[in-house]
């Protein structure tokens, strides 16, 4: 029986983690131009929240990435600050993605101990989110979720339609 299951596993089609998102899979789009994040699931934009992004244009990488790491009360390695400590700039959650081949350990969507920074260009490349918002997002986002970071004046509806994850309703005249 175990040999049969192993052979079945070998014959099953395997796709790389998160290669092409299915229409009902969770998906995140971050627009650096508006400093907003859209959470999409089941072909609907479920939530749009304000974020903070990189101090300079190049600090927050653009492209499509995959969530590879998640952590509750993340440890801040740079300054040796324990997770959950009030002075920890990563806040209460870390959703790391694989930008610039960093395996989700350097770039991420995370909380902040500086909520007044939200909406601004202040980070070293990460996406800052208010702790309350990132806690909710953390619960919704599984490993393998795609994160697409852009800088554009297009709407989230237009961007999601480009990826085929939201259908824009065609308006018809009378």
- Spatial separation of the C-alpha atoms in residues 14 and 20, rounded to whole Å: 12
Catalytic residue among 67, 71, 126, 129: 126
Catalytic residue among 32, 70, 93, 110: 110
- Is 126 catalytic? The answer is yes
- Is 110 catalytic? The answer is yes
Residues labelled catalytic: 110, 126
């Amino acid at each position: 029986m175990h040999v049969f299951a192993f052979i079945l596993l070998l014959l099953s089609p395997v796709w790389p983690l998160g290669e092409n998102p299915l229409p009902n899979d969770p998906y995140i789009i971050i627009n650096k131009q508006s400093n907003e994040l859209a959470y999409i699931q089941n072909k609907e934009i479920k939530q749009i929240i304000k974020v903070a992004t990189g101090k300079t244009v190049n600090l927050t990488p653009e492209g499509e990435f995959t969530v590879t790491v998640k952590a509750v009360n993340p440890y801040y390695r740079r300054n040796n600050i324990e997770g959950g400590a009030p002075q920890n700039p990563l806040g209460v959650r870390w959703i790391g993605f694989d930008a610039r081949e960093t395996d989700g350990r350097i770039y991420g969507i995370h909380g902040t101990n500086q909520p007044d920074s939200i909406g601004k260009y202040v980070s070293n490349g990460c996406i800052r989110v208010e702790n309350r918002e990132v806690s909710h997002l953390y619960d919704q986002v599984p490993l393998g979720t795609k994160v697409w970071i852009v800088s554009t004046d297009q709407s989230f509806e237009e961007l999601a339609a480009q990826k085929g994850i939201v259908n824009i309703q065609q308006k018809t005249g009378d």
